[in-house]
């Protein structure tokens, strides 16, 4: 709060004039520093509409230190000349006449406040010689406000329990809040954005009546990950380049023996209406432990389990969990990511059913325009890539993969003929990166995450 005396003096001055006052003039006439007047104006403004103050700025020319010296004593040249004694040097008579000291004259004009008499060019010349400088002066034009009064009441900052108890708040004036400022950052915990999206996808599946599969087994045998899905043993996905193999524990033991035999047969000889792949199927390949490359390995285990039931019952399954690929890493690919998978098994499901259910699923994500492209996948037939129309990019973009599991996968498990299984999958990271506008996957997943991004991420509503 500025000096109350000064504030009151200022208010009295404002009261006396009809129009307004310039703060510079007030400072000069009161003989105080201009900053003190500015302080008084600011504290009056904080009280509301007591005064109104409009900021103004004006420019004027001032002499620099050197300029002042010249104005007082004459220019350097003149001083040199005048310091030569009349009888002095031999050449002096030749050189010297009484000089007219133009520089000094000009500076004196400025000093008297008559700078306007000089031409711009002259002023700039002197400015270059560092004898003059142009100064901007800020001041306030002060006029009476709508609540003008020469007496000021002290304002309260906050409501207190005592004021409430005594009722004194009724007589008090409260300092207005600055609604422009941000609130205090809260000290709270946050959920990770990818996990928020996972929660939403989980919710969607539950709303659609899907049961969650137990996917808590990152380590899987090649048998369940590939062979049971009718993926041949020479398939490129089973290369060292694509899949993480384990050295410890290197091999799986214990397979359902009769089922394993049926799998061997359908690969190497065919059967169940299939020609098979006709190659030498090796148990050693099937035993190799890997980090699962897809959660479909778990779907295979679940479907096998379903086939062992005495009587088949229709099922709808889903899972969202980590899968692993020994791939080249870049801004959108990591060695591990989350796969979202949905599976429906029932008698007589059709391609139309698959497309229908995909529509319902993607509708819940706010995606309504879908179309399907024929594709190839070793364990589904037909296979369809799902495309959605991206309004921003103005083109169709791939949003997932889908298909009907091959009979060579289902029949050896022991599922009844006529049962068809439709399935689809997508990654969790991609929709999350789009949703939260993240370009580098490392900022989202893993220890290099930007915690500020986690703190700042909004709630996740996929359909809006």
Partner 1 sequence: MPTVSVKRDLLFHALGRTYTDEEFDELCFEFGLELDEITSEKDIISREQGDTKAEGASDVILYKIDVPANRYDLLCLEGLVRGLQVFKQKMEAPRYRRVSPASSEPQRLVITEETTAVRPHAVAAVLRNITFTQERYDSFIELQEKLHQNVCRKRTLVAIGTHDLDTISGPFTYTAKPPGDIRFKPLNQAKEYTAQELMSLYKTDSHLRHYLHIIEDEAVYPVIYDSNGIVLSMPPIINGDHSKISLNTKNVFIECTATDLTKAKIVLDMMVTMFCEYCEEPFTVEEAEVVYPDGRTCQYPVLYPLTITLHESTEHIAQLLTKMCLRSEVMSDGEQIEVEIPPTRSDVIHACDIMEDAAMAYGFNNIPRTTPRTYTIANQLPLNKLSELLRQDLAAAGFTEALTFALCSQEDIADKLLKNISETRACRISNPKTAEFQVARTTLLSGLLKTVAANRKMPLPLRLFEISDVVLKDESKDVGARNNRRLCAVYYNKSPGFEVIHGLMDRVMQLLEIKPGQGNGYHIQAADDSTFFPGRCAEIFACGKSIGRLGVLHPDVINRFELTMPCSALDIDIEHFL
Contact predicate 119/109, CB 8 Å: no
Task: Tell whether the torsion through CA atoms of 298, 304, 310 and 313 is positive or negative.
Answer: positive
Contact predicate 10/44, CB 8 Å: yes
Q: Which is nearer to partner 1, 37 or 419 (CB)?
A: 419
Q: Measured from the CB of residue 385, what is the shortest distance to partner 1 in angstroms? A: 9
| 131-160: contacts with partner 1 (CB under 8 A) | none
Stretch that binds partner 1, among 16-24, 71-79, 80-88, 211-219 (CB under 8 A): 211-219
Give yes or no for a cis peptide into 249 (omega within 30° of 0): yes
Q: Which is nearer to partner 1, 81 or 454 (CB)?
A: 454
Q: Measured from the CB of residue 414, what is the shortest distance to partner 1 in angstroms? A: 18
**What is the contact mask toward partner 1 in residues 343 to 362, using x (rule: CB under 8 A)?**
-x-x--xxxxx-xxx-xx--
Rounded to an integer, what distance in angstroms lies between the CA atom of residue 389 and that of residue 112? 76
Q: Measured from the CB of residue 129, what is the shortest distance to partner 1 in angstroms? A: 50
Contact predicate 442/448, CB 8 Å: yes
**What is the contact mask toward partner 1 in residues 369 to 398, using x (rule: CB under 8 A)?**
--xxxxxx-x--xxxx--------------
| 305-334: contacts with partner 1 (CB under 8 A) | 314-316, 322, 324, 326, 334
Contact predicate 230/266, CB 8 Å: yes
217 binds partner 1 (CB under 8 A): yes
| 65-84: contacts with partner 1 (CB under 8 A) | none
Q: Which is nearer to partner 1, 61 or 210 (CB)?
A: 210
Q: Which is nearer to partner 1, 163 or 334 (CB)?
A: 334
Rounded to an integer, what distance in angstroms lies between the CA atom of residue 101 and that of residue 120? 20
Rounded to an integer, what distance in angstroms lies between the CA atom of residue 67 and that of residue 60? 15
| 390-449: contacts with partner 1 (CB under 8 A) | 404, 406-408, 422, 444-449
Q: Which is nearer to partner 1, 23 or 233 (CB)?
A: 233
Rounded to an integer, what distance in angstroms lies between the CA atom of residue 107 and that of residue 75? 10
Contact predicate 140/41, CB 8 Å: yes
| 236-295: contacts with partner 1 (CB under 8 A) | 236, 240, 244-255, 270, 273-279, 289, 291
Rounded to an integer, what distance in angstroms lies between the CA atom of residue 90 and that of residue 70? 28
Q: Measured from the CB of residue 280, what is the shortest distance to partner 1 in angstroms? A: 8
Stretch that binds partner 1, among 9-17, 83-91, 138-146, 202-210 (CB under 8 A): 202-210
| Cα 411–chain centre separation | 49
Q: Site for partner 1 (CB under 8 A): which residue of 88, 176, 214, 366?
A: 214
Contact predicate 339/294, CB 8 Å: yes
Q: Measured from the CB of residue 53, what is the shortest distance to partner 1 in angstroms? A: 38
Rounded to an integer, what distance in angstroms lies between the CA atom of residue 403 and that of residue 405? 6
Q: Which is nearer to partner 1, 140 or 230 (CB)?
A: 230
51-63 β-sheet, strand order: 21-22, 132-144, 51-63
Q: Measured from the CB of residue 426, what is the shortest distance to partner 1 in angstroms? A: 18
Output the DSSP codes for 162-202. Answer: HHHHHTGGGT--BPPP-TTS--PPP------HHHHHHHHHH
118 binds partner 1 (CB under 8 A): no
363 binds partner 1 (CB under 8 A): no
| 157-196: contacts with partner 1 (CB under 8 A) | 187-192, 194-195
């Amino acid at each position: 709060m500025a000096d109350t005396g000064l504030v009151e003096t200022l208010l009295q001055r404002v009261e006396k004039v009809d129009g307004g006052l310039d703060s510079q003039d007030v400072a000069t006439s009161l003989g105080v520093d201009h900053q003190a007047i500015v302080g008084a104006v600011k504290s009056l403004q904080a009280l509301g509409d007591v005064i109104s103050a409009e900021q103004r700025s004006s420019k004027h020319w001032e002499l620099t230190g050197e300029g002042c010296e010249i104005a007082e004593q004459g220019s350097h040249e003149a001083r040199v000349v005048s310091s030569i004694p009349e009888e002095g040097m031999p050449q002096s008579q030749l050189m010297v006449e009484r000089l007219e000291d133009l520089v000094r004259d000009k500076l004196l004009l400025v000093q008297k406040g008559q700078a306007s008499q000089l031409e711009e060019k002259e002023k700039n010349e002197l400015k270059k010689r560092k004898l003059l400088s142009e100064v901007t002066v800020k001041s306030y034009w002060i006029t009476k406000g709508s609540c003008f009064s020469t007496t000021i009441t002290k304002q309260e900052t906050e409501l207190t329990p005592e004021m409430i108890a005594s009722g004194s708040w009724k007589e008090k004036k409260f300092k207005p809040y600055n609604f422009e400022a941000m609130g205090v950052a809260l000290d709270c915990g946050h959920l990770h954005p990818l996990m928020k999206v996972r929660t939403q996808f989980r919710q969607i599946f539950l709303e659609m009546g899907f049961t969650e599969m137990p996917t808590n087994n990152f380590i899987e045998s090649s048998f369940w990950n590939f062979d049971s899905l009718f993926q041949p043993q020479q398939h490129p996905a089973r290369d060292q380049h694509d899949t993480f193999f384990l050295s410890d524990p290197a091999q799986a033991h214990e397979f359902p023996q009769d089922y394993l035999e049926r799998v061997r047969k359908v690969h190497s000889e065919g059967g169940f209406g299939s020609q098979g792949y006709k190659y030498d199927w090796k148990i050693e390949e099937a035993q190799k432990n890997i980090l699962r490359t897809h959660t479909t390995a778990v779907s295979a285990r679940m479907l096998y389990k379903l086939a062992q039931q005495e009587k088949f019952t229709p099922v709808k399954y889903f899972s969202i969990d980590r899968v692993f690929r020994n791939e080249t890493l870049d801004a959108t690919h990591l060695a591990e990511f989350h796969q979202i998978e949905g599976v429906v098994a029932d008698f007589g499901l059709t391609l139309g059913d698959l497309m229908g259910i995909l529509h319902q699923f993607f509708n819940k994500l706010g995606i309504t325009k879908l179309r399907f492209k024929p594709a190839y996948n070793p364990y589904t037939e037909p296979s369809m890539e799902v495309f959605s129309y991206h309004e921003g990019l103005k083109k169709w973009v791939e949003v997932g993969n889908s298909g009907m599991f091959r009979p060579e996968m289902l029949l050896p498990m022991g599922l009844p003929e006529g049962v068809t299984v439709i399935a689809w999958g997508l990654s969790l990271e991609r929709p999350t990166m789009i949703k939260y506008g993240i370009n580098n996957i490392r900022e989202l997943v893993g220890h290099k995450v930007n915690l500020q991004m986690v703190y700042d991420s909004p709630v996740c509503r996929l359909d809006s």
